[in-house]
Structure 1
C-alpha cells in the first residue's frame, strides 16, 4: 500500500493488528481462529524456534516491507516470534511487492521484502547496483481471488477471457459488453496498484502483457479499500489475495473461474491441487544475506521457514496453503547456506 504506516508495527496483539489492517468497517482480517498459535499446544507455531528459545537474549530490530498479500502471514509469524523474544522489534510495512523492492529493499533499507511474485530482472539489477544480495524463500500458496458485490447474481462465474475483457487496457465499459445477457451497467473496478505483485501476476496470467491493464479503476495497495469499494456498488468487481476473502467470506462474493474445464471456486483445496488455474500462485519473502549476519534476524528467518508448514497458522488462521514438507526442507537448506555465507 502506498501509505507505509497503515499496516506496520507488530508490537500489538494479533486481534488489534487484524482490526488495524482492515480499517474501520472494512474487511478486517477479524475472526481468526479462536486459539492463539503460541501456547505450546503442539500446533507447531512455537516449537523449534532454532538454536535460541524464548528468553534467549536475542535483541534488535527487523524491518520488512513489500507485498500486501504476504503481509497477514508475515505479521502472524512475527507476533509469535516477538512473544518468545521480547527484545526483538519487528516492523512490517505493506508497500506492494514492487514498491518494497524499489523503495526499501534494493536500496538496502529493509531486511526482508515480501512478494506475491518472483523478483523481476530490473529489481535484481537494482539490488546488484547497491550490493544487496538475497535469497528467495517460498512462504505459502495463494488463491488470487476475484470478488463481486453480494447483490450481483449474474457474474458469479466467469471465464478467464471474460476477466481479461474487464481488466485489459481497452476494457469493457459495461457488463453487457462482456456478456449480452448481463446488465447494461458501468463496471466499477477496484484492484491492485501497479507497484503490486498481485497486479503483475494478474496481468501476466489473465489478459497477458500485450493486452495490458486498464487505467479505469481504483488502484490501491490497501486490500480493505478494494473490499469497501466492491461492497458499495452492486456493479463493482475487484481482486486481491485469498486471505482477505478467507477471513470475511460474507462481506463480498468470490467469483468461480473457468479456465476451460468448468468454473472453480477459490479455496485452499483448489489452490493446493492447482485446479484453481491460472490464479493459484506461490508467494515469497526475500531476506537480505547481509542482514542474516545478525543473529536475531537469522533466527527470525529460521522461525518463519519453520512455520510455513504450520497448518493451523498458515491455513486456519491466515488463509493460505501451507508448504509441503519437501518445499519446507528445500527452504531450510537454502536459508542455512545463506546464513553460513553471512556469518
Structure 2
C-alpha cells in the first residue's frame, strides 16, 4: 500500500547507476571530495520500537514503512496493544514511542518520573470514533447519543434492537468494541455514557480493531465502534451510523469534513504519539519524528483515513526536538 518495495527498488537502481558513473570517471573521483549531504540518509542506523493504540497504529505503521524505505539501516517496529499498554511499555523502557488515542494520565506521568523519564506529547491527526453496523442493517443508520448510551451504559437492559426502539427488529444485538486498555474505549465511554471507562461488559472486546471489523461485518444484527481509519479501510463491508446529539439535531455522519470542522459530535478527537524525552537525543529518532511531522507524514495520516492537523500544530511538535 505504501510502495515500500518500489522505493527500495529505486534505491538499488540508483546505487548501480552511481557505481558505473564512478567507474567511468576513473581517478577523477578520487580528486574530488564526496558530497556528504547527499548520503546523510544512509548514515542513520538503529532501532525504534513503538507500541500502543490500535487507532494510531495505521499512521505509525505507514510512516515507519516509508521512513525505512529511505533509511535502510534503521529498523522501526510498530506493535498494537492498546493505549494503556503502550504507556506501560514506555514506563518499563521497552519502547521509545507510545501510540495513544488519549492523553497521558497523571499516574502515568508520575510512573515515568519515578524511572527518571518524561514523555513528550505530540498530536498527529484528528480521528472520529465511528459506530458501525452491518450493511444489511437498514433500521439503525441514524442514532442519538441517548440511544447509544442506552445500549452501552453500565447496567444496560438492552438485549434486542427492539429494546432501543420498538420499531426495530426483535433480534439480539451482538456488540463489539475495544478492550479496556484502549484509549478509544475510554473516550467513547466518557462521551457516550458520561463516565470514562464505565461500560456494560457483555460484549466482545479486542485491542485489535480488525477483529471488531470481522465481527460486525459477519452478523446482520451486530454493532461496534473503533477509529475512523478502520471504517475507511472497510467501507465495502460496513456502514457508519450517523450520530445526533439529541432528537432535535441533524444526524451527522463521520467524514473527513465533519471530523475536521468538529460537526461530528461528540466522537471527534485528536490522536497522539508520545516519545520518551531521553530518546529525542538519538539522531534516528529525531529524523523519524521530523518525517512523521513532515508534509509526507501528514499525507500518510490522511491516506490511511485520518484528518491532518493544522500546520502550526506539527510545527509545535518539531519545536520540542533538541
Interval of TM-score (by shorter of Structure 1 and Structure 2)? 0.7 to 0.9
Q: Secondary structure at the match of 1:151?
A: coil
**Counterpart in the other structure of 1:95:** 81
Q: How many Å separate the matches in 1 of 2:115 and 2:102?
A: 22
TM-score of the aligned structures, taking structure 1 as reference length? 0.80
**Counterpart in the other structure of 1:112:** 97
**Counterpart in the other structure of 2:204:** 218
Q: Which runs of 5+ in 2 are unaligned?
A: 11-36
Query: What does 1:30-109 align with in structure 2 at a 5 Å threshold?
Result: 55-102=41-88, 104-109=89-94
- Residues 1:293 and 2:293 aligned together: no
- Residues 1:263 and 2:248 aligned together: no
- Residues 1:126 and 2:114 aligned together: no
* Closer/same/farther in 2, CA of residues 127 and 178 from structure 1, 3 Å limit: same
Residues 63 and 297 of structure 2 are in contact (CA less than 8 Å); yes or no, is this contact kept in structure 1? no
Query: What does 1:136-285 align with in structure 2 at a 5 Å threshold?
Result: 136-171=121-156, 172-209=158-195, 212-260=198-246, 261-285=249-273
| 1:237-294, Cα deviation, whole Å (9 max, x unpaired) | 0001011111221111110011132110001100000000111110000001111111
Using the TM superposition, name which of 175-184 and 284-293 deviates more: 175-184
C-alpha displacement of 1:166 = 1.1
**Counterpart in the other structure of 2:25:** none
* Closer/same/farther in 2, CA of residues 194 and 202 from structure 1, 3 Å limit: same
C-alpha displacement of 1:56 = 3.4
Q: How many Å separate the matches in 2 of 1:53 and 1:237?
A: 51
Q: Secondary structure at the match of 1:296?
A: helix
Q: Which runs of 5+ in 1 are unaligned?
A: 1-12, 18-34, 40-50
**Counterpart in the other structure of 2:301:** 314
Residues 108 and 132 of structure 1 are in contact (CA less than 8 Å); yes or no, is this contact kept in structure 2? no
* Closer/same/farther in 2, CA of residues 210 and 127 from structure 1, 3 Å limit: closer
Q: How many Å separate the matches in 2 of 1:62 and 1:217?
A: 35
C-alpha displacement of 1:169 = 1.4
* Closer/same/farther in 2, CA of residues 195 and 16 from structure 1, 3 Å limit: farther
* Closer/same/farther in 2, CA of residues 82 and 132 from structure 1, 3 Å limit: same
* Closer/same/farther in 2, CA of residues 326 and 75 from structure 1, 3 Å limit: same
Residues 4 and 66 of structure 2 are in contact (CA less than 8 Å); yes or no, is this contact kept in structure 1? no
C-alpha displacement of 1:305 = 1.6
* Closer/same/farther in 2, CA of residues 220 and 307 from structure 1, 3 Å limit: farther
| 1:207-256, Cα deviation, whole Å (9 max, x unpaired) | 11179201010010111110111112111100010111112211111100
Q: How many Å separate the matches in 2 of 1:120 and 1:331?
A: 19
Q: Secondary structure at the match of 1:263?
A: coil
Q: How many Å separate the matches in 2 of 1:164 and 1:282?
A: 22
* Closer/same/farther in 2, CA of residues 211 and 320 from structure 1, 3 Å limit: closer
C-alpha displacement of 1:83 = 0.9
| 1:170-229, Cα deviation, whole Å (9 max, x unpaired) | 122211111121112111000000000000000111111179201010010111110111
Residues 139 and 308 of structure 1 are in contact (CA less than 8 Å); yes or no, is this contact kept in structure 2? no
Cα RMSD, aligned residues only: 2.4
Paired residue total: 293
Q: Secondary structure at the match of 1:206?
A: helix
| 1:116-164, Cα deviation, whole Å (9 max, x unpaired) | 0101122222222222211100110001100001111000100011111
Residues 178 and 226 of structure 2 are in contact (CA less than 8 Å); yes or no, is this contact kept in structure 1? yes
Q: Secondary structure at the match of 1:189?
A: strand
Residues 98 and 196 of structure 1 are in contact (CA less than 8 Å); yes or no, is this contact kept in structure 2? yes
Higher helix share: 2
